[in-house]
A and B are shown apart, each in its own frame.
Chain A
Amino acid sequence: GESVGLHLPTLSVQEGDNSIINCAYSNSASDYFIWYKQESGKGPQFIIDIRSNMDKRQGQRVTVLLNKTVKHLSLQIAATQPGDSAVYFCAEKGRGSNYKLTFGKGTLLTVNP
């Protein structure tokens, strides 16, 4: 069946290091992907998105890479800060829908000072 999953459930990094969070997806028909950040007790917050016709997109301190050949998505956070500590989810949208998202299970990122 369709699924979106993450390789690592937890990731611990030192402040100032770069973080990489990975995500595997199985629906080759997905045409849009989003990374969300969820802090404890809060709702998901949009970080960055990428369309399937792209392989890289950069934001402020964040970069998303998409490898459609192996159905892999990654989120890179540069110079990780304590405020980046949260659970990060990838989500995919299937082609033909403009709303239905499938979320992965999440990776807990802990930034040590």
Chain B
Amino acid sequence: NAGVMQNPRHLVRRRGQEARLRCSPMKGHSHVYWYRQLPEEGLKFMVYLQKENIIDESGMPKERFSAEFPKEGPSILRIQQVVRGDSAAYFCASSAITGGNRYNEQFFGPGTRLTVL
């Protein structure tokens, strides 16, 4: 049973280019979460998606960043017109459906390390 998959593992972009990060959740999981990790920092929540729906994007920068999780295919985190400050590791996690306030255990992928030159 494959875990959460992310690609590419490493991505280099020049300032002003676009970055597309892909995440395939674990089999049977329909919830996807994106986190950003700056060097020597903890993970910061960005966005929570279910299929075709953005549930919580409170951690997403207001400009240049967008995320989607289409009915078919992986979740995509898109960063337009990248700047050097976007350089970070971006992690995707997925979870199954649970109810109420019980924590939905999140399983993390290996991350995409974005470097902006």
Q: A residues near B, CB below 8 A?
A: 4, 31-32, 41-46, 49, 89, 91, 93, 95-106
5 more A-B contacts (CB under 8 A) besides A43-B110, A46-B105?
A: A44-B108, A91-B42, A99-B103, A105-B41, A106-B42
Number of interface residues of B (CB under 8 A): 28
The 6 closest A-B pairs by CB, nearest first: A103-B42, A43-B108, A103-B43, A44-B108, A105-B42, A43-B110
Q: Is B95 an interface residue (CB 8 A)?
A: yes
Contacting residues, chain B, for A104 (C-beta < 8 A): 42
Interchain pairs with CB closer than 8 A, number: 60
Docked CA distance A98–B99 (Å): 8
Residues on the B chain within 8 Å of A32, using CB: 103
In the bound complex, CA of A96 to CA of B98 (Å): 14
B100 within 8 A of A: yes
Is there contact, CB below 8 Å, between A44 and B43?
yes
Bound Cα distance A21, B106 (Å): 22
Would you call A101 and B101 a contact (CB within 8 A)? no
Residues of chain A lying within 8 A (CB to CB) of residue B100: 98
Q: Is B18 at the interface (CB under 8 A from chain A)? A: no
Cβ–Cβ < 8 Å partners of A95 in chain B? 101
Question: How far apart sit A89 and B105, CA to CA, in the bound complex (Å)?
Answer: 16
Closest to A104 in B: B42
B109, A99: Cβ atoms under 8 Å? no
Neighbour of B40 across the interface among A4, A97, A106, CB < 8 A: A106
A89, B42: Cβ atoms closer than 8 Å: yes
Name the distance in Å between B76's Cβ and chain A's nearest Cβ: 18
User: In the complex the two chains form, is B56's CB within 8 Å of A100's CB?
Assistant: yes
Contact partner, B44, options A49, A96, A98, A103, Cβ 8 Å: A103
Say whether B104 contacts A98, CB under 8 Å: yes
B69 at interface, CB cutoff 8 A: no
Q: Please, which residue of chain A has its CB at the minimum distance from the CB of B113?
A: A41
**Which chain A residue shows the least CB distance to B10?**
A41
